[in-house]
Structures are given as structure tokens and as C-alpha cells.
Chain A
Amino acid sequence: MTYLDHAATTPVLPEVLAAMTEQLGRVGNASSLHASGRAARRAAEQSRERFAEALGARPSEVLFTGGGTESDNLAVKGLFWARRQAEAGRRRIVVSPAEHHAVLDSVEWLAKHDGAEITWLRVEPSGRVRPQALAEALGDGSDVALASVMWANNEIGTVSDIPALAAVAHEVGVPLHTDAVQAVGQVPVDFAASGVDALTMTGHKLGGPMGAGALLLRRDAECTPLLHGGGQERDVRSGTLDVAAIVGLAVATVTAVGSREDRADRLSELRGRLVAGVVERVSDAQLNGAPLDDRLASGPGRLPGNAHLSFPGAEGDALLMLLDARGIECSTGSACNAGIARPSHVLLATGADADRARSSLRFSLGHTSTDADVDAVLDVIAPVVERARRAGMGRR
């Protein structure tokens, strides 16, 4: 099996499995006052400290959540509600149209049900949001509740210069949220240095468990809770702490961040060989997103393991199916809840036409990827694309 869908989820690290297994064998609610509770709390809080340190945050800035979607919902809705509560005129949300649906659908829900107004940010053809575009969209910022721009795009891997965007937002007194689900462990992410007010991350993209993530939230950021109850996590996210998941999340994050540079170099090289090899075999294949060697002041301009390609005349879901039948697992980007492949909203946001958006595939490499995986794709890509083209689009 050739697994090239690490951006969807990546194998759990062995050290995570060991740490979680050990923790799952113990009893204790971290909110309890007795010895078992204290032991659980100690494990959770040690993890919080190590986790915070790995990401340049303070422990008190870490809110553990159920994952990226929850963190995005909490940041977007919580910041919006709190800011509007403080100043009724702040109803505008400035957001990129290339965001993950966890952000997009939260923003659109607020617009539909809660009086928010959306300002869509201009996106470069690479998928990047420039500070200038954010400055224009914010104006004087007086009516803006928050801005949200993802650190690295989940489909095409393009990185935006988040520290520069945070500086622009702060100039006009607007908090910036960033979805860094794909960025953490792949590119340098330092919460304090970045200046952002809220940062979403999740565990299962970097070798941790599914269903465990965090929102890093500055201590001065007001955020209205989504979940009410026992008052855990600064009263912003109630719910019994999932100690084993938190331990696993922390081990995964510390490990992935610690080994980031070596892995990035290795994946970047593999990815370069993959893209070059595909283009050599399918001459009209088009790379989507930023150039492979793109650089920003804050680090790489593209995720090292991301290869997103369009194959004109072939439909993405036909390509995926043919590759799947040959033991190669990748992704077309997005599917609706019924499983229907949709033209990628990210590519459409970058100005690509619907056919290019429909004909794309994402290969995402991760910590278990090898040369053999790249070879497996290169062995079959030409006949697969040829076959998908002949199968047509199922449309006229």
C-alpha cells in the first residue's frame, strides 16, 4: 500500500501509542481532588506545559479541544460573539475564501443566523493572502470582529506570512485567528512570535490521536464559550479532560516539532522528485499552489510534503479510483457529506477554472513516506491519467 494522504491523517507515532496506552490504563478525573485525580491532572498539566513550549505559547494559552474543527468553531464564533458583545458595531468578519470548511461554514453560519457580515479576502493565484490584501479588507478596522487566515492551506499547501498578517490586523485593533492544522510540525510555528490571537491545531495530522486538538488563545483575547459546564480550560471549553488524548497530543507535537527540520528536508526532496517525475510522464500536468522552492520571511512558502497537481481532461475522482485500484491512496481535496467529489473551492478561490479544479489530485507525504512510495506513483501515473482521460467526464 502506498499511503500518500498524510494531510488527511498520518500514522500515529510509536511513542504516542506507548504514552497513551500507559495513560489509558489509569483511573482518575483531572478535576477530582483525590490522589487519582491529582495524578491525572499532573499528567495533563505536564503535557500542557510541554505542548505549549513546543509551540511558543504559555501553558495558560492552551485550550485542549476535540480537534481542528472544534478549535476553528470556537475561535471564529467565540471571538465574534465576544467582540460584538463588547462593541455592537463589530460585526464584520474578514476571511479568506480558501479556508477549510470548519472556518468557512462557521463564518457563513454566523452570517446567516447571527448578523455577521463577511468580507472575502483577495487570494493570490498561489493561494496566498498578502498583507496588503488584508489591510485593504480591514479598512480602519472599527467594524471588524475578527480576521481569519489559515497558516498553510490543506489542499494546495501554500503558506501565508502569518506574522506579517497579524501585524497588519493589530495595527487596526483586529484580532487574527489562524488555522494552523497543516502547518504545525511542517513549518516553523511560534505562537508568541507570530503575534496571532488564536491558533487552531490538531493532533492527528502530526502523529497524535484523532479527536484531540487545541486552540491557542492569547490570555487577553475574549472568547465566548461554545460548551458550557464544569469550567475547564479557562471556562472557555468545559468538559472532562481527555487525559490520554492530551498526553498523546503533547508527545506527538513535541516529537513532530522537534524533528521538523530533518523531516521537512527529506519530504521536500521526495516531493520534488514526485512532482518532477509526474510532469516528466504527463507533460501537461500542472502544479497548483506556490512554487516548490518558494520562501517567506518566516520559513518555507509551501508545505514540504504537499504535491497538488491538475491533469487537464481527466477527472479527479476517476484518477483517485484508478490509483486506489493500484494500491495508491491520495485525495481529490474535498468531498461533500455524501461523498460526491466537488471542484475544489480552494482552487476556485485562486482563480482556477472549474475544469482545472475538477481535474486535480493531492499527494501529501508524511513521516512514513519513502522513495518507494514516489516510485509507485511514477510507475502508474501515465497510464492512469491516460485511462481517466478516455473515460471522459461523465458530462458533455
Chain B
Amino acid sequence: MRLLAAMSGGVDSAVAAALAVDAGHDVTGVHLALSPDRQTLRSGARGCCSVEDAHDARRVADELGIPFYVWDLADRFREDVVDDFVAEYAAGRTPNPCLRCNEKIKFSAVLDRALGLGFDAVVTGHHARLEGGELRRSVDAGKDQSYVLGVLTGEQLAGAMFPLGSMTKDRVREIAAERGFAVAAKPDSHDICFIPDGDTRGFLNRRLGSLPGPVVDAATGEQVGEHGGTYGFTVGQRRGLGIAVGDQRPRYVLAIEPVSRTVTVGTADLAAVPGVRTGPPSWTGPVPPLPFTAEVQVRAHAAPVACRVSAGDDGGLLIEFAEEQRGVAPGQSAVLYEPDAVRGDRVLGQSAVRTACATEEPLSR
């Protein structure tokens, strides 16, 4: 096959490209330049598109003897990922930019262009299994990235290849070291690539300005603190609330109301919700008949929980948890899995959380 390997400059995509070459495919590497104002050098382990990262990717491509190009997708990335990220926070929701980038950039803009140029698929270093059109968790549970791929449709998955899903991250590093890749020991990237200093609140503050408002305790209705902008909070958040309450029980963010700029906090019992209503879903394969039972993951790195999925409002879903969950934030994707201990849990699809079902809301069983 003619494959386009998206090479970030990290160890995963380097090994993914190498495995694609080993498998006898005709591979071309591309580095996606996503930041409009690129830093010359990496700072720490954050971010993934400095000039130095482009150089690292190019070095690997040259060692593999494959063509290598840099594609400038900064405009698309800004519109579809960064601006969306800011708008979501401004609306009181919690976006997942990696998921958005996979949906709109890697497996849309890049895949479309690749197919147009005559490639058969895009290869990435994501840790997820993709076989026979079925997307499953990586064998490395700690590095599994199926959650941020859960938004892909069957059509998008048909143009994707994830060679790393059946191996652990340790094995990936071993392969890189065996091949003498300079990136073998490069630290994993984490956090959000377009916020290299890791200060999301500071980034949003520069974009949205100071929008102070009250922090209110749900039980008493009393103001227990002030904040500089609702965008600094996520439903389920416990730390950094900057509040003073009489008792010593921890408080969690329960709700964010951007118009009145109110952040509502409450105790753990109030933070747990029995289910969520979501927006219209996307499916990785055939649309499953509703209702059905499955497992759901409500944010990256959350533990999956058993659930019942049925039709909700406006084409959305109603997802009822087998046990109440904390930290279910509007804007996050609820990714649905069909458990499979042998072949890996299969991703069915996802849907963005709109609202939590209130505790007293009668659930349709």
C-alpha cells in the first residue's frame, strides 16, 4: 500500500513509520506543522511541533530512506482545534483538543489530502488496535489512546493504520533503540501541544480576558469564593478552587454557568451523577440498535463503567451508569466500548456530554 506516515518527531510515530516500511509498504513521512508561531526548541516534554521536533522526524525519515515533507496545517488547526477549545471553555464546557485534532485534522484534513494525492491510508503512532475495521484498546492499558480516536467514523478508520496497538510502549522504545533512532529515549509528550507551558488557565485568560464571578456552594447557596473566569474550571474539579468553606469536606465543581459567571461547588455526594444526556453520536461502524448495554469512558484516563445506552433528546443519547460517576464534564466525549478481554475492548462510538442527569431525574429503565 501507499501510506502516509504522520511523524510528530516522537518515538511512537517513528516506530509506526518504521514498522510500515518493514511491512513492505511504500511509505512517505509528513510532519504536521500546527502551531503558527513555532518555537525553535522544545521546552521540556510538552508540545509536539517545534522546529526541533520537525528535525527529529526528518532524521528518522532519512534513516528509513523515505521521502519526508512538512505540511503546514496551522490555519486549519487554529480554526478547528484551538478556537474550538477556547469557545468550548467560554461556553462552560470542557473540550478534548486531542480528540478534536484526530477528528478534524489528522483523519480529516490530512487524510483527505493524502487520499487525494494517491495514498491509501494514514499511519500514526497511536496506541490502539485497528483490525478488520474494528477499533480496540491497545494491549498497553496505561498508554491506550482509543479514547481520543473514538470520534472517528468507519470511513475515517478505513483510511487509518495504527501499527503500535499490539505492543507496549516499552516495546516501542526497545524497537526504536534497536534501530538506533535518536528519539528512542525522548520523553512522552503530554498536556496540550499548543499550550507548551502547561498553564491552560493562563492561556485561556490571555484569550478570553478576566471574567470574574462568584463561586457558590450548592448546599447553602452562599458565595464561598471568587474566580477570574469560569473557563478556569472543569466539572468534577477538586483542586485549585480558591474557596473557604466552614467544614473540612472537599468540594467539587458541580456546574459552570458562563452567562452569570457562576461556578457551583458541592460535596462528593452531590458531584456523583447517575448518567448523562449527550449530543448526536458518531459510530466507528454500523449503527448499533438502541437501547444496548456497553461500557462508557467519560474522559481520557477515566475508568470505564458499565452503562445502558438509549435514545435521548434531539438525536442524542441517554447514557445511564451502573454506578454513579464523578467528574462528568459537559463537552467531554462519552466513548462507548463493547468489553472484550481477549481481543481488547471495541470502540463503538462516542457522543459529547451535554448535561448530567440530575440525581432526582427519573431514569427510563
Task: Assess whether B118 is interfacial by the CB under 8 Å rule.
Answer: yes
Closest to A324 in B: B67
- Cα of A24 to Cα of B21 in the assembled complex, Å: 40
Q: Would you call B113 and A325 a contact (CB within 8 A)?
A: no
Report yes or no: A325 in contact with B109, Cβ–Cβ below 8 A. Answer: no
Contacts A317-B71, A318-B117, A322-B117; A339 near B58 (Cβ below 8 A): yes
Picked from B69, B72, B117, the residue with its CB within 8 Å of the CB of A387 is B117
Query: B76 contacts A394, CB within 8 Å?
Result: yes
The interface residues of chain A lying within 8 Å CB-to-CB of B38 are 338
Report the count of interface residues on B (CB-CB < 8 A).
22
Question: Is A172 on the interface with B (CB-CB < 8 A)?
Answer: no
Chain A residues 169 to 210 lying within 8 A of chain B, measured CB to CB, are none
Report which of B58, B67, B110 forms a contact with A321, defined as CB distance below 8 A.
B67
- Say whether B31 faces chain A, with CB atoms less than 8 Å apart: yes
CA A322 to CA B2, docked complex, whole Å: 13
B70 contacts the other chain (CB 8 A): yes
Instruction: For the complex, give the distance between the alpha carbons of A276 and B299 in Å.
Output: 59
B113 and A392 contacting across the interface, CB-CB below 8 Å? yes
Tell me the minimal C-beta distance from B115 to chain A in angstroms. Answer: 8
- Contact (Cβ within 8 A) A337 B51: yes
Nearest CB in chain B to that of A320: its residue: B69
Would you call A113 an interface residue if the criterion is a C-beta within 8 Å of the partner chain's C-beta atoms? no
| Complex: chain B residue closest to A342, CB-CB | B72
CB-contacts of A372-396 with B (<8 A): 387-388, 390-392, 394-396
Q: A interface, how many residues as a size bin? A: 20 to 34
Q: Across the interface, do B75 and A325 meet the contact criterion of CB distance under 8 Å?
A: no
Closest residue of A by beta carbon distance from B53? A338
Is A1's beta carbon under 8 Å from chain B?
Answer: no
Q: What's the least CB distance linking B111 to chain A, in Å?
A: 11
Chain A: CB-nearest residue to B69: A321
Within 8 A of B (CB), among A210-226: none
Does A297 touch B at the CB level, under 8 Å? Answer: no
CB of B112 closer than 8 Å to a CB of A: yes
Q: When chains A and B are docked, how far (Å) is the Cα of A335 from the Cα of B33?
A: 13
Q: Which residues of A contact B31 (CB under 8 A)?
A: 339
Which of B33, B72, B76 has most chain A Cβ within 10 Å? B72
Could you tell me if B116 and A390 are in contact, using CB atoms closer than 8 angstroms? yes
Report the minimal beta-carbon distance from B104 to chain A, rounded to whole angstroms: 11
A35 located at the interface, meaning its Cβ lies under 8 Å from any Cβ of chain B in the complex:
no
* CA distance in complex: A341, B74 (Å): 12
> Cβ of A392 and Cβ of B33 under 8 Å apart?
no
B54 contacts partner chain A, Cβ-Cβ < 8 Å? yes
- Given A324-B67, A325-B67, A337-B51, the answer on whether A392 and B116 have CB atoms closer than 8 Å is yes
For residue A341, which residues in chain B have a CB less than 8 angstroms away from its CB?
A: 70, 72
B66 CB → nearest A CB, Å: 11
**Chain B 328-353 interface residues, beta-carbon cutoff 8 Å to A:** none
> What would be 11 A-B contacts, judged by CB atoms less than 8 Å apart?
A321-B67, A321-B69, A321-B117, A324-B67, A388-B117, A391-B113, A392-B113, A394-B72, A394-B73, A394-B76, A394-B110
Pairs A-B, 4 closest by C-beta atoms: A391-B116, A339-B70, A340-B72, A338-B51
